[in-house]
Amino acid sequence: MCGIVGLYLKNKKLHSKLGFFLSGMIDNMSSRGPDSAGFAIYNNLKSKNIYKYSLSFKNNASIKSFQKEATKNFKDLKFTNISDHTIVFSSLLPSKFIPYLRSNFKNISIVGYGKSIEIFKQVGNPKKVVKKFKLDKFYGSHGIGHTRMATESAITTEGSHPYSTGEDECLVHNGSLSNHNNLRRKLIKKGKIFNSLNDTEVAAGYISQKLSEKKSIKKSLTSCLNDLDGFYTFILGTNRGFAVLRDEIACKPAVIAENKDYVAVASEFQAMAHLPNVNKANIYEPEPGVIYKWGN
């Protein structure tokens, strides 16, 4: 089943409430996906040279040893710890820092990186997961969330959404893909690295590949319609906003509510019932095979 949610705040005054709204949305979607949950928050930093690396750890002891070890090698590192995740703030370029992390720390999974994005995901009931990460305190322009009912791969943090396979990109998915193994092999040949056997990670990798070939979001998503076999409603997040796509059969639900303050997307209306003035918003279903996009 799975539940997906996305919220883009047009009104800057609401940015301080992003986490609060998004946590309610994920909370309401826990009935669609009780196995695990995750979310991505987009929050641009004032300094344009700083990258944020979202790292997930197997246990707390390894967080401390990692921080000790990493500060020995690099001076310019700042850490924020939340539950089993650490966000590393640094001006180190991803091309330098990520290979270092991969080769030196086996207990770390790099859940995402970029100048805006922060990603958190964990196994467990979504209601508990959002509490552990204190999502309601987060600040930002837009966010994406997922509640998972596992079908295609094991219930692990690596198997949870959102999947980030490129700078400031992330993807959540409701559905299942049937040609992900073939596609994964093709993408590995092109140099993509995958951390799980999950179908969504392949879709995320596929879209990242297209975006890295300088294709627009619209073109990248349109090519999904030809190359991905299976059912899907996707929310694709970038540092500028997010996009929604449903496959042409459209069995996987989605509903959009839009007003002057925000755009909300969710699997079910329930997820957005707590948003301000939602009953008066323009509420509609995204049409199959059509790309919807919001952002600046």
Q: Which residues bind another protein (CB under 8 A)?
A: 250-251, 253, 255, 268-274, 279, 283-285, 287-288
CB of 139 or CB of 284, closer to another protein: 284
Cα–Cα distance measured from residue 191 to residue 174, given in angstroms and rounded to the nearest whole number: 26
Residue 242 Cβ, how far from another protein at the closest point, in Å? 21
Residue 163 DSSP symbol: B
Contact 256, 10 (CB under 8 A): no
170 is catalytic: no
Concatenate the DSSP letters of all residues of 25-62 into one string.
Answer: HHHHTTTT--SEEEEEEE---SSTT-EEEEEEESSHHH
Half-sphere exposure (Cβ direction) of 40: Cα atoms closer than 13 Å: 35
Helical pair 199-212 and 217-227, crossing angle rounded to 10 deg: 130
Nearest distance in Å: CB 255, another protein:
7
The nearest distance, CB 219 to another protein, in angstroms, is 23
Least separation in angstroms between residue 250's CB and another protein is: 6
The answer to whether 282 touches 261, Cβ cutoff 8 Å, is: no
CB of 247 to another protein, least distance (A): 12
Helix 180-189, helix 199-212: angle, nearest 10: 40
Contact 43, 140 (CB under 8 A): yes
Q: What type of residue sits at position 272?
A: M
Which entry of 2, 170, 224, 251 is annotated as an active-site residue? 2
CA distance 283 to 292: 14
Per the CB < 8 A criterion, the answer to whether 63 and 86 are in contact is yes
Burial pattern 25-41, b for ≥16 Cβ within 10 A else e, equals bbbbbbebbbbbbbbbb
Q: What is the CA radius of gyration of the chain?
A: 18
Nearer to another protein, 194 or 269 (CB): 269
Residue 163: which of 4, 33, 18, 1 has the closest Cα? 4
Q: Which is nearer to another protein, 140 or 253 (CB)?
A: 253
Residues catalogued as catalytic:
2
